[in-house]
Structure 1
Amino acid sequence: MVDPIIVMKRLTKVLMDGGNGLNIVYAEMLDAMGIDRAHIRPTGSPFHGIVPGKQAMPLGKIDLPITFRDPTNYRTETLTFEVVGLHETYHTILGCPCYAKFMAVRNNTYLKLKMLGLCRVITIGSPFQRAYECEVECYEHATAIVTSIELAAIREEVIEETPDPKRSTESFEPIEGPNLLGSKGILREVAEHALKIRPGSKPVKQLLCRFNEEKRRAIDEEIVKLLAVGFIKEV
């Protein structure tokens, strides 16, 4: 059994997520702590939110003793973690089960977490600068995942669906058969489209607008982000 005090010293980057219903630890962190993966119990329940836009299948579950603070005043409880075999910026994510087990109360404004210890209240805090650095690192990591995976998939779909440039509009053929409302055509007596062109005017082809590589890359990244969060979708 790993010393719980040592465990928490190694977990220097912990995300306290009160909206998450799971406690999550990454397999590479277990290896760093010297915990044998043979202790992982199998599980068959996938979950979402770890990989942006994808469902994740954990490697299994494991029970670990977690300790807050130091030997003079501490609180230790055993938590069940979902083990994920992915790379992440955080060492572990402590969710609602952790808050319930420790009966902890948090204050998001001051980045403080309080719980009862052996002899007095334990207060745990994080500097705002440190929290900001972790947030930026996590955002950059998530963006890199989305850009590398989703953008490649989108580009493949775009290539597959790109119309044949050799196809000319001159190959258009009018639909033959009864032009009834509700079929593929409408009687010209019902509706007809006409272009109001000045007689004798010369048609002018507009120049094709192209973006440079930097702008195209930025556009691709923004599209991927919107697709990943479900703000837009392909129709």
Structure 2
Amino acid sequence: MDGGSGLNIMYAKTLDEIGIDRSNLHPIRAPFHSVVPGKHALPLGQIDLPVTFENQFNYRTEILTFDVVGFPKTFHAILGHPCYAKFMAVPNYTYLKLKMLGPRGVITIGTSFQRAYECEVECCGHAAAIIASRELTTLREEVTKEAPDAKKSTGSFKLESTLIGFLCDNKDIFAWKPLDMPSIPREVAKHTLKICLGSKPVRQRLHCFDEKKCRTIGEEIAKLSAAGFIKEV
């Protein structure tokens, strides 16, 4: 699970291992970055697959869209922000836990610190091998020797158009306003203040803001209140 990733990624070898033919992939035109160190990655295609958490007594299944990549794997798949949003899942990276609401209560997914460490070591070794590879060295030399010309502006325009097209195609995974994110039940996540019993409350001094900031604060509070994130007590 990677809440910082904007994509759900599956490796082609994983797809082969679960017996799904690559002819089922849908073509995709946009590359993505920060997956392979030092260069952009071109996916083989996209595929929609059902993903289930927990067991037969309390489980949750959703259809997720995966970008399938063909380079060597360090994981079976990477579940990113779209997965978190679809399942309304809440992670805790300190305890390596992921919680979501199921039909019979809260579903908790976890792993061991030893397994997480092993995966991290494997990823670091894989990244180091790519960085040290001859292919990446050649790529850096080409970029260094490349002289600036008028074609760069055309390339930038094409890249911008590709990015805009990608964002438009995937606009449904973004939360544009608080109402796009339903309230998370307290059974899944709740924050409390640990106050010592017997402590005397201290009233803070009044903070004053200018008219523009007050108006903006009021608008944001109204949005959060309408979405059920906060309420007056």
Which TM-score applies when normalising by structure 1?
0.58
CA distance 1:121–1:46, shift in 2 (3 Å): same
Give 5+ residue unaligned stretches, structure 1: 1-15, 161-235
1:130 matches 2:115? yes
Question: CA–CA distance in 2 between the matches of 1:43 and 1:71?
Answer: 35
Deviation at 1:48, TM superposition (A): 0.2
* In 1: Cα distance, 2:64 partner to 2:15 partner: 14
Task: Give runs of ≥4 in structure 1 deviating > 6 Å.
Answer: 154-157
In 2, the alpha carbon distance for the partners of 1:151 and 1:59 equals 21
Match of 2:82 in 1: 97
Residues 103 and 155 of structure 1: is their aligned pair in 2 closer, same or farther, counting only changes over 3 Å? closer
Matched, 1:73 2:68: no
**What's 2:47 paired with?**
62
Q: Which amino acid aligns with 1:88?
A: K
Which of these residues, 47, 65, 71, is aligned with residue 86 of structure 1? 71
User: 1:39 Cα deviation (Å)?
Assistant: 1.1
Q: How far apart are the structure 2 equivalents of 1:36 and 1:104?
A: 30
User: Does residue 1:120 correspond to 2:102, yes or no?
Assistant: no
Which residue of structure 2 lines up, in the alignment, with residue 176 of structure 1?
Answer: none
CA contact (8 A) 2:12 2:68 kept: yes
Indicate if the aligned counterparts of 2:130 and 2:136 stay in contact, CA closer than 8 A: no
DSSP-derived class of the 1:134 partner: helix
Q: How many residues align?
A: 143
SS for the counterpart of 1:49 is: strand
State the distance in 1 between where 2:91 and 2:139 align: 40
Which residue of the partner structure matches residue 182 of structure 1? none
Code of the aligned partner of 2:106: V
C-alpha spacing 1:153/1:112, structure 2 compared with 1 (3 Å): same
Give the counterpart letter for 1:139 in structure 2: C
Structure 2 residue identity aligned to 1:111? L
Q: Secondary structure at the match of 2:36?
A: coil
What is the rounded CA distance, in whole Å, between the counterparts of 1:105 and 1:89 in structure 2?
24
Q: Letter of the aligned partner of 1:96 in structure 2?
A: H
- What is the aligned counterpart of 1:28 among 2, 13, 30? 13
Distance 2:136 2:91 in 1: 37
**Matches of 2:67 and 2:139, distance apart in 1:** 31
Aligned mate of 1:144, from 114, 129, 132: 129
The answer to whether structure 1 residue 41 and structure 2 residue 26 are counterparts is yes
3-state DSSP of counterpart to 2:52:
strand
2:44 and 2:69 in contact (8 A); partners too: yes
Partners of 2:98 and 2:54 lie apart in 1 by 11
For residues 26-82 of structure 1, what are the alpha-carbon distances to aligned partners after superposition, in whole Å with 9 as ceiling and x for unaligned? Answer: 111100000011210001000001110100111111000000111111100000010
Closer/same/farther in 2, CA of residues 128 and 153 from structure 1, 3 Å limit:
same
Q: Which structure has the highest helix share of the two?
A: 2
Q: Aligned to 1:74, what secondary structure does the other structure show?
A: strand
Question: Aligned partners of 2:103 and 2:49: how far apart in 1?
Answer: 20
